[in-house]
Structure 1
C-alpha cells in the first residue's frame, strides 16, 4: 500500500478530498498524531526541500514525512474528541499553505536553473544544496570543469547568474518525467549521475535535446521558468575544495532587493546624494573622518601632556597620600595611557577620574596595591574591573557610585 502523490501529476492542487487510512499517536507527544491518507498533495520533506504545511479539516499539519511509500501527516490536537470524530469520517477535506508551497517551488527551481548555468558554462557540478531561511546555498565542484577550470571568480558567477535569469526571461518550459528503470532515465542529458535505480523523476528545464538543466529531483517545481521571477547571487566563497554560492530566488530574492534598495535610498538621503554617487560620498566622508581622527589624536596628545603637568604639580605640592584627579574631556582609555607614566614609580596613590566613563584609573608604585583595592572595594558600589599592583581600573554604573568608591579608598588609606 502506498499513498497516491497528487503533487506528482499536478503541483498546483491546493485543495482536495481524501480518505483516512490510519491515525497513529506519535511516540513522543500525546497531543501529536500522524495521519495516513489514501491520496495527498502535501509534499513530504525531501530532496533538499522542506515539507508542505496546511490543514486536514481544521487540524494544522505541521510536518510531512514519507516512509516506505506511505506519507505521514503530523497534526497537533489537544482535544481527543476531535481525533475520535476524524476517525469516523469517510472522507476529509485537505488544503495546503499555498504561499509556502509556491515559495519552495520558486526557490527549488531557481536552484536547478542556476546549477544548470554553472554546469553548461563551466562544467561545475552541484555537490550540495540547502534551502535556508535567509538564503540558499549550492556547493559547486570543478574537478571536471571545462577547459581546465578549477576556480570560480566573481565575474564567472555573474555570468552564471545572467545565464540563469535569461532562462527565466525566455520562460523555458519545465517537464517532470518518471522512470522505473535507470537505463531509461539515463537516455536524457543529465548534468549529474543518478543515485538510485528505480522510482526516478527527472526535471528538465527547456528543450529536452539541449536543456537549460536536466537532473533527477523529487521536489515540486513551477511548470515554467518564468514563474521563478528572479535569481540573485549574494556572495561566493571557497569551501573546502568546493565553491559555496549564496543566493535566492523568487519572492525571497525580490524581498531582499526591496530591503536593500530601501536601505540604499535611506543612506543616499542621509548623504544628500543619489544612489549612484553614494560610494564616492561615503569615501569622501571616510577621508574627512580620518583627518578629524588625526586632529583629535594630536589634540589629545596635547591635552594629556597638559594633564600630566598638572598632576606632576599636585604630586610635588601635596603631602596627601591619595591624589584624586578629574579629567573632564578624557576617556578611561586615555587615563590608562596617563597612568603608565606613574605606574610602578609614584609613591602616592593616583586616582584618575573620567566622568564620561564613570570610571577610575588607579596608579601607584605597587604600594598600595591598586588591583587589590579595586577587587576589595569596587563591588560595594556595583563597580567592575581589576588590574595589577601598580595599575588597575574600575568602571561603575554611575558617577555617584564612582565618587563613593573614591571617598572610601581615600578614607581607608588615611587611617
Structure 2
C-alpha cells in the first residue's frame, strides 16, 4: 500500500535498510533496482525524485513504473540482498519546502482573489504556478505573498491523512482529487486542504519564507515565479552579489545604485544624441565632397557602412546637384550593399540597374524608378559591383 512506503511514513527518514528484490536494465540500457520498501520519493505530482545512495552506488533517478518503484543507478549493485541506503537530505528537504510553499501560496491566491492554480512546476532553482487569470497586479502579488508568509510564521502543524473516497465529503478540498483509492490529504488547519502525494514538513514554520520573484503571461493564465526556504537566502545572496558589483562599477553606494544607473542611462542617451549629430555633420561633409565631382555619375565604395548611411549620403549628395547619378557600395567583409539613385532631372529607370546587379550577388532589394537599394553575397569585389552598376544604367544623362 502507498501509505506503507517509508517516505510517506516519515519524510524525515533518510537512512534505512531493506532488501533488493530485483535488478534489471530498462529499454534504454539504464540499470535499476527494486527494493522491498524505500524512502526514495519517485518523480510525481510536480515534485522531482530523490537522489542518494544504495550501498555505495549513486541513485540518479527514481520512477514508479507499473506500481513498482525503480531506483535508477549509476552502475549495477554488486549483489542482491540486504542493503543500506541513504537519501540526499539537502535535496529532499528543499523539495519539501518548495512543494509545501506552493500549497500555501496557491491557497493564498484562492483565499484572497479566487485565482486557482492550473499547473505547478518545481525546478532546480525556481518554482512556478500558473494562475487562472490573464493579469495580476503588483498589489495582489504583495498581498498573497504576505498572507503566505503569515501562515508560515504562525508555524501551523501540517497534517497528512489517508482517507477513503466515502470520507471525502467531510473535507473542503481546494480542488477535486484524481484518484479513487488511497487518497492522501495534506492539511494546513483553517487554511488549506489538498489531495497530494508529495513530501511535506511537519509544520509551516519549516518552510522559512516565500518570495515571489516575477510573473509572465502564459496564454490566458499568469505564471508566477517564486522561491521558498533556503532558496530565498540563495537568491538574496546572488542578487546582493550582483548589486554590489554594479554599485562598485558605478562608484555609488549600493542603496543608490538604481539612481546612479538612471543617471548613467541619461548620460548615455545624451551622448548618443550628440554622436548622431556629429555623424550627420560628417555625412554633410562627405556629401559636399562627392557633389563636387565633375562627372554626372558619382561613384564610391566604402567599408562597413550601413544601408541607412548609404541612403542618407545619396540623398544629401543629390540635394547638392542639379543633375547626377550616385552609385554607392559598402563591403563588410561578408556582404555587399549598394544604393543607386538619381536626380529627378534625369530619366534612367534605376530598377533596371538593380535587376542586373542583384542576381550577380544573389541578393535582394527594391526601390523606385529614381532610387534602388539592395544587398547580397560577396561574390565579387565592391569595385566590380560598382562597375556593374554603372554599366547597367540604361541611359547616361
Give the shorter-chain TM-score range.
Answer: 0.7 to 0.9
Q: How far apart in 2 are the matches of 1:325 and 1:22? A: 76
What are the Cα deviations for residues 53-104 of structure 1, in whole angstroms up to 9, with x where unaligned? 2222233323222245422222253xxxx55x42xx3212222222222221
Q: How far apart in 1 are the matches of 2:49 and 2:149? A: 26
SS in 1 for 2:170: coil
Is the aligned partner of 1:218 residue 2:197?
A: yes
Distance of aligned partners of 1:151 and 1:372 in 2 relative to their CA distance in 1, 3 Å threshold: closer
Q: How far apart in 2 are the matches of 1:262 and 1:138? A: 27
Which ranges in structure 1 are unaligned for 5 or more consecutive residues? 143-149, 380-384
The answer on whether the counterparts of 1:362 and 1:370 sit within 8 Å (CA) in structure 2 is no
Alignment of 1:111-260 (within 5 A): 111-141=102-132, 152-179=136-163, 181-205=164-188, 208=189, 210-211=190-191, 213-260=192-239
Q: How far apart in 1 are the matches of 2:110 and 2:279? A: 59
The answer on whether the counterparts of 2:118 and 2:129 sit within 8 Å (CA) in structure 1 is yes
What are the Cα deviations for residues 302-327 of structure 1, in whole angstroms up to 9, with x where unaligned? 3222221211112xx248x6733558
Structure 1 counterpart of 2:277, from 298, 302, 305: 298
SS in 1 for 2:179: coil
The answer on whether the counterparts of 2:290 and 2:317 sit within 8 Å (CA) in structure 1 is no
Which ranges in structure 2 are unaligned for 5 or more consecutive residues? 343-349, 392-397
Alignment of 1:262-411 (within 5 A): 262-314=241-293, 317-318=294-295, 323-324=299-300, 333-340=308-315, 350-353=327-330, 361-363=338-340, 366=350, 369=353, 373=357, 376=360, 387-388=365-366, 390-393=372-375, 405-409=381-385
> What is the CA-CA distance between 1:395 and the residue it aligns to?
8.4
Q: How far apart in 2 are the matches of 1:26 and 1:3? A: 27
Distance of aligned partners of 1:14 and 1:340 in 2 relative to their CA distance in 1, 3 Å threshold: farther
Question: CA RMSD for the aligned pairs?
Answer: 3.7
> What is the CA-CA distance between 1:136 and the residue it aligns to?
1.8
Number of aligned residues: 377
Distance of aligned partners of 1:276 and 1:10 in 2 relative to their CA distance in 1, 3 Å threshold: same
Question: Which of 216-225 and 62-71 deviates more?
Answer: 62-71
TM score, norm. by length of structure 2 = 0.80
